[in-house]
Amino acid sequence: MVSTGDPTPRETALSSLGLDVDPAMDESVSATLAAVEEALRVHVTSADPLVAEAARHLADAGGKRFRPLLVALGAQFGDPASPEVVAAANVVELTHLATLYHDDVMDEAAVRRGASSANARWGNSVAILVGDYLFAQAADLAASLGTEAVHLQAQTFARLVHGQIAETVGPRGTDPIEHHLFVITEKTASLIATAARFGGLFSGARPEHVEALAGYGHAIGIAFQLSDDLLDIASESVQSGKTPGTDLREGIPTLPVLYALAGDDTDASAVRLRELLAAGPITDDTLHAEALSLLRESAAMKRARETVRSYAEEARTQLAPLPDGAPKRAMESLCDFIADRTG
Q: What is the CATH number of the domain that holds 194?
A: 1.10.600.10
If asked whether residues 199 and 216 sit together in one domain, one would say no
User: Pick from 145, 171, 205: which residue ends a domain?
Assistant: 205
If asked whether residues 179 and 315 sit together in one domain, one would say no
If asked whether residues 55 and 199 sit together in one domain, one would say yes
Alpha carbon distance 149, 194 (integer Å): 10
Per-residue model confidence (pLDDT) at position 1: 41
Contact (Cβ atoms closer than 8 angstroms) between residue 96 and residue 67 = yes
Per-residue model confidence (pLDDT) at position 13: 65
Alpha carbon distance 146, 265 (integer Å): 55
Alpha carbon distance 239, 234 (integer Å): 9
If asked whether residues 274 and 189 sit together in one domain, one would say no
Per-residue model confidence (pLDDT) at position 341: 86
63 within some domain: yes
Dump pLDDT digits (tens) for 251-297: 889 999 999 999 988 999 999 999 999 998 999 999 999 999 999 99
User: Pick from 205, 230, 254: which residue ends a domain?
Assistant: 205
Structural domains in the chain (count): 2
Alpha carbon distance 299, 283 (integer Å): 24
If asked whether residues 181 and 250 sit together in one domain, one would say no
> In terms of DSSP H, where are the helices of the chain?
23-43, 49-60, 66-74, 83-107, 118-122, 124-145, 147-169, 176-184, 190-201, 207-234, 246-250, 255-262, 268-278, 285-296, 299-318, 326-340
If asked whether residues 175 and 239 sit together in one domain, one would say no
Per-residue model confidence (pLDDT) at position 120: 75
Alpha carbon distance 67, 45 (integer Å): 21
169 within some domain: yes
If asked whether residues 239 and 316 sit together in one domain, one would say yes
If asked whether residues 201 and 213 sit together in one domain, one would say no
Neighbouring-strand partners of residue 112: 115
Per-residue model confidence (pLDDT) at position 59: 76
If asked whether residues 74 and 189 sit together in one domain, one would say yes
Per-residue model confidence (pLDDT) at position 146: 97
**Regions of the chain short of the pLDDT cut 70:** 1-13, 62, 107-115, 237-242, 343
284 within some domain: yes
75 within some domain: yes
Q: For the residues of 46-61, what is the DSSP string, one character each?
A: -SSHHHHHHHHHHHHT
2 within some domain: no
170 within some domain: yes
Range of the domain at 243: 209-343
If asked whether residues 78 and 131 sit together in one domain, one would say yes
315 within some domain: yes
* DSSP label at residue 111: E
User: Pick from 205, 229, 260: which residue ends a domain?
Assistant: 205
If asked whether residues 214 and 295 sit together in one domain, one would say yes
Dump pLDDT digits (tens) for 142-184: 999 999 999 999 999 999 999 999 999 999 889 999 999 999 9
1 within some domain: no
Per-residue model confidence (pLDDT) at position 63: 72
Per-residue model confidence (pLDDT) at position 235: 79
Contact (Cβ atoms closer than 8 angstroms) between residue 89 and residue 67 = yes
If asked whether residues 198 and 218 sit together in one domain, one would say no
